[in-house]
């Protein structure tokens, strides 16, 4: 059953050997040269599970990968029972919201400490389970990097997600995320990353004003 039609891939909810799974399939793009299209889909189908595994090694909850089919550009992974953070964040008390956002910040810090850049940090790509875990999903745009620029871009995406989806609590949420992040990566690293986030924000304003 198709549950999400994305720009890069479609997600299907399926039964696979008695398990409820997500089947992520990267479909050919007609606007790309066929050989290049095949190479891109091959690359991303291989690298996404690798980044998910690295995130798991870092102590960040992620779906379990059951199968990778590079020929069909398809990944079969665990279906995570829970709700998107996007769906529940605004309905929490201020204390609950800040607690959740600090936890999310700690998880982002663990990713960055292990050189994993998520690439699409939004509250849509975080699932809160009934056990209180936040599971990060959709590593389709992820990469490996130790650069402050990459970390800043990652967190700037998170900040923009708050501003566009949770605008009433955007500042409160991002401050709490960064508090949790700083506890994990350390004050000196956090300071450099925050400066980069602000710099990226200024770049965006400059471009929009031109």
List active site positions: 120
In sequence order, what DSSP letters do the residues of 155-196 get, joined into one string?
HHHHHHHHHHHSGGGHHHHHHHHHHHHHHHH-HHHHHHHHHH
Q: What are phi and psi of 132, to 5 degrees?
A: 85, 10
Three-class secondary structure of residue 23 per DSSP = strand
Contact (Cβ atoms closer than 8 angstroms) between residue 192 and residue 148: yes
Beta strands of 57-181 (E only): which ranges? Answer: 65-69, 74-78, 83-84, 116-117, 126-128, 134-136, 143-144
Determine how many CB atoms are found less than 10 A away from the CB of residue 134: 18
C-alpha–C-alpha distance, residues 56 and 20, integer Å: 20
């Amino acid at each position: 059953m198709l549950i999400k039609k994305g720009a890069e891939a479609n997600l299907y909810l399926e039964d696979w050997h008695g398990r409820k799974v997500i089947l992520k399939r990267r479909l050919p793009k007609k606007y790309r040269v066929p050989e290049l299209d095949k190479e891109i889909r091959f690359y991303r189908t291989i690298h996404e599970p690798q980044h998910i595994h690295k995130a798991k090694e870092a102590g960040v909850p992620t779906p379990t990968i059951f199968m990778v089919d590079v020929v069909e550009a398809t990944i079969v992974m665990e279906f995570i029972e829970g709700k998107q953070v996007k769906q529940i964040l605004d309905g929490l008390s201020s204390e609950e919201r800040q607690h959740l956002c600090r936890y999310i910040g700690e998880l982002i810090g663990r990713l960055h400490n292990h050189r994993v850049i998520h690439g699409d940090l939004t509250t849509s790509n975080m699932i809160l389970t009934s056990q209180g875990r936040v599971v990060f999903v959709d590593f389709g745009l992820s990469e490996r990097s130790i650069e402050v620029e990459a970390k800043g871009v990652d967190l700037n995406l998170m900040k923009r997600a708050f501003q566009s989806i949770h605008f009433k609590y955007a500042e409160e949420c991002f401050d709490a995320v960064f508090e949790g992040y700083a506890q994990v990566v350390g004050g000196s690293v956090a300071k450099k990353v925050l400066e980069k986030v602000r710099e990226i924000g200024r770049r965006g304003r400059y471009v929009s004003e031109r």
